[in-house]
Copies of this chain bind each other. A is one copy, B any other.
Amino acid sequence: SRCGFPEVVYGEGKPAELIVEILQRQAAAGQAGFVTRVSPEQAAVVQQAFPNVHYNHVARTLTMKNVSAPGVSDAEPAVAVISAGSCDAAVAQESLETLRWMDVPAVLIEDVGVAGPQRLIKHVPLLQRMSAIVCVAGMEAALPSVVGGYVSCPIIGVPTSVGYGASFGGVTALLSMLTCCASNVVAVNIDGGFRGGYVAGMIATRAASSRDDD
């Protein structure tokens, strides 16, 4: 538990039995496991072993502890996960589940892409109160540029592989985020929903814990 959180399991291609085994080891060590990139088939096997595990079939994540539904907790959210379009949902929800597993109060705002400018504007006051924002977008990924103009916290850009042709499987979105004119934007790998949520959670935790220190 190097960073204050137990090791996260990358489920892709792992036999379901191996995932169960790792989770059992973590459970024995008193850790709440978290697995990403889990197929429905893998999830079914794990749920046999751990009936209370939480599987989000959009995010394709497994969480080994009780997590409150987003928006239900009465804590003021510290991180917002925003996404440009409905096809970005899987990645956005992977960020969200990561934050819930980290116990960071988070809010999800979907489908606020810049082609419909009024959709974003109404969320600006909320966004301005965040410790960090995860901004999920594909294709030309104009969203972080626009959000960056309204807020003063770090924005973690997560490019998605949606789209066709010159989207090049997320490369265009990634390059767009890296060259973004707003100074508070950084980027992670294409479809890197886990990392986007994780780093945003770290920033929020750090801010909150220093608050609690006092």
Binding site for B on A (CB under 8 A): 2-4, 8, 12-14, 84-87, 113-117, 131, 139-142, 145-146, 148-154, 156, 159, 161, 163-192, 194-195, 198-199, 202-203, 206-208, 210-211, 213-214
A12-B116 Cα distance, complex, nearest whole Å: 20
Total identical chains: 8
- 9 smallest CB-CB distances across A and B, nearest first, come from A165-B190, A214-B214, A142-B142, A3-B152, A142-B145, A139-B179, A140-B176, A172-B175, A166-B178
Contacting pair A148 B115 (CB below 8 A): yes
Query: Least Cβ distance of A199 to chain B in Å?
Result: 5
A161-B13 Cα distance, complex, nearest whole Å: 13
Contacting pair A152 B186 (CB below 8 A): no
**Given A154-B203, A203-B206, A206-B207, residue A149 in contact with residue B187 (CB < 8 A):** no
A189-B138 Cα distance, complex, nearest whole Å: 14
Q: Which residue of B lies closest to A118 (CB)?
A: B149
Chain B residues with Cβ below 8 Å from A179 are 139-140, 163, 165-167, 172-173, 189
Given contacts A154-B203, A166-B178, 16 further A-B contacts (CB under 8 A): A2-B149, A8-B183, A114-B114, A140-B141, A142-B142, A142-B180, A142-B181, A153-B202, A154-B199, A159-B165, A164-B191, A165-B189, A168-B175, A206-B207, A210-B210, A211-B214
